[in-house]
Amino acid sequence: MNATAGGETRLLWPALKGFYDPFFEVAYAVMRIVIGYIFLMHGWAKIGMGAGAVAANIMAKNGLEPAIAFAYAAMFLETVGAICIILGLFTRFFAAAAAVEMLIITWLYWKAGFSWLNRGYEYTLLWGLVCFAIALRGGGPYSLDRKLGVQL
């Protein structure tokens, strides 16, 4: 893709425009659903551990106090919030909250450096920025937000 003088993106193969245009919004919905699913799997694992274990083994160990409040907040956001992101319901609110969660985790992992292989902030930075982008755009046309006419 190249940019034109007007700032529009110009396709390398213009014949593919008929393919890209109808799938742009579908691709966004798929991305939003996958992001929500990934968060849901993290939340489901935390539910399996239990709030006490999440508080002790994750929150308190990383200096997040009161640990039990942070545990419940993470569990709620990563389950209920994830389901809402998947459905596109209150998308901006929950995506922004997930971006803040990822910002906090990025800050905690900062001292380990960038690489996720060293428990660094690479992964959380990426997901935080993706959640921020979703928060800015909202649920899109394939969302309950659009169906209900609500963009929180």
The pLDDT tens digits for 58-109 are 999 999 999 999 999 999 999 999 999 999 999 999 999 999 999 999 999 9
What are the extents of the domains in the chain? 25-135
pTM for the predicted model, two decimal places: 0.88
Residue 112 to residues 55, 62, 73: CA-CA distances in angstroms? 21, 13, 25
Residue 55 to residues 4, 72, 75, 82: CA-CA distances in angstroms? 52, 8, 10, 20
Whole-number CA gyration radius for the chain = 18
**Model confidence band, residue 2 (pLDDT cutoffs 50, 70, 90):** very low
